[in-house]
Structure 1
Amino acid sequence: MTALHPDVLPAGALALDATTQDLLFREARTANTFTADPVSDEQLRAIYDLVKYGPTAMNSQPMRLVAVRTPEGRERLVRHMAEGNRAKTAAAPLSLIVTADTGFHEHLPTVFPHAEGARDAMEANPGRAAMARFNAAIQLGYLIVGIRAAGLAAGPMAGFDAEGLREEFLDGTGQEVIAVVNVGKPGPDAWFPRNPRHAFDRVVTEV
């Protein structure tokens, strides 16, 4: 009989079964090497079509993705990555440049209450760019979980020249780079040793 992971909760505490909990969280890891197996267009579309339902403020949905697959695109990407991130980015079958669209207000769904007024208000709002970055960062979390749900590993990174990437891939779009995520099946020695996580009582204060 296989021993349960020490963090497995009693049956019924979560709606997901233990296997799915492990797939999405407990056994999922940040990959640093990848196999050559491709990530298909169907997989990428399925991941996005799942995670797009995650909530954002005002249903703003500011996250945008640049999918880098071609040798030419990867060369353009790798030269803007930090030294320690270049080899794994060059070897990943797919890299996603995750950005925040500061012009998200122009695309607010018409079903949003008073959509036209909200667009006008956001146009003049000095906090619009910060709102875009914050909500795109929330969507980045959904994206990582969605990648895991596809049976793939994600390697999110913040080590890059953001201005260089913006000029290389996003000039004139109003988008700001918030992360680069390598995606694929984990290769040999893909994991660093796992660091401990904070216990519930350290994190949660009840009032």
Structure 2
Amino acid sequence: MEQLFTAARTHNGWLDKEVPDSLLELALDYAKWGPTSANCSPLRVVFVRSNEAKARLGPAMSPGNHDKTMAAPATAIIGYDLDFHEHLPVLYPAADAKSWFAGNDALIEETAFRNGTLQAGYFILSLRAVGLDVGPMSGFDKAKVDAEFFVGTKIRSNFLINIGYGDSSKLYPRGPRFAFEDMARII
């Protein structure tokens, strides 16, 4: 639990240590097993690692996120697929779930965004579970990222996750969290 939650931190600085592809693959393989509605599984990920790919991502970054993203061993562009429902006959054969979305763009968008974000949360925990540190963030131009990395698809970017081995000397002080009674009630 400490590795996943209480001792884990959002990193802004990175050690100069390569992240093996096998760990990225393993973490995503674990994350895919988390539940989504009707097993819709809209999460799509592009791992930005090469200098070429970073040069393509760089212009989309806000000034406060540019340098730490360029320094990260890997950056995951977290996207969600607006064509997820096309895969439902295979992913959810228990019902004609594809028909639930026919002609309903608002439902497609809402379902893809919600469930893609949910899967991304599983992915963050999976990355931590395999021993990596993460720095999830917004602060980028989604239209630029979509045009650069998802052109010709119905995939849209949601947020980014810098991934690597965190440099603890660059951590901000730990922020407080709400107490149970400040965020929940049992009725």
Q: Assess same fold via TM > 0.5.
A: yes
Report % sequence identity. 38
- Whether 1:73 aligns to 2:53 is yes
By how many angstroms is 1:113 displaced? 3.8
Number of the residue aligned with 2:154: 174
The counterpart of 2:166, out of the listed 162, 186, 198, is 186
- Whether 1:119 aligns to 2:98 is yes
Tell me, which stretches of 5 or more residues in structure 2 are unaligned? none
The counterpart of 2:141, out of the listed 136, 161, 176, is 161
By how many angstroms is 1:198 displaced? 0.6
Number of the residue aligned with 1:104: 84
| Structure 2 CA distance for aligned equivalents of residues 49 and 113 of structure 1 | 21
TM-score in terms of structure 2 length = 0.95
Number of the residue aligned with 2:14: 34
Question: What's the CA shift string for 1:12-40, capped at 9, x where partnerless?
Answer: xxxxxxxxx11110000000001121111
User: What is the RMSD of the two structures over their aligned residues, measured on CA atoms?
Assistant: 1.3
Number of the residue aligned with 1:90: 70
Greater helix percent: which structure? Answer: 2
Question: What's the CA shift string for 1:83-121, capped at 9, x where partnerless?
Answer: 100000000000000001000011125262455x32233
Number of the residue aligned with 1:46: 26
- Whether 1:152 aligns to 2:132 is yes
By how many angstroms is 1:206 displaced? 1.7
- Whether 1:143 aligns to 2:154 is no
- Whether 1:25 aligns to 2:21 is no
- Does the CA-based 8 Å contact 2:39-2:91 persist in structure 1? no
Question: What's the CA shift string for 1:34-93, capped at 9, x where partnerless?
Answer: 112111111011101111110001100000000111101011111101110000000000
By how many angstroms is 1:200 displaced? 1.1
Q: Which amino acid aligns with 1:170?
A: F
Q: Which amino acid aligns with 1:165?
A: V
Aligned length: 186
| Structure 2 CA distance for aligned equivalents of residues 139 and 205 of structure 1 | 26
Q: Which has the larger radius of gyration?
A: 1
| Structure 2 CA distance for aligned equivalents of residues 57 and 198 of structure 1 | 28
Q: 1:24 to 1:40 in 2, by over 3 A?
A: same
Q: Which amino acid aligns with 1:155?
A: G
TM-score in terms of structure 1 length = 0.86
| Structure 2 CA distance for aligned equivalents of residues 47 and 188 of structure 1 | 22
Q: Which amino acid aligns with 2:102?
A: E
Q: Which amino acid aligns with 1:49?
A: D
Question: What's the CA shift string for 1:155-180, capped at 9, x where partnerless?
Answer: 00110000010001101110111011
Tell me, which stretches of 5 or more residues in structure 1 are unaligned? 1-20
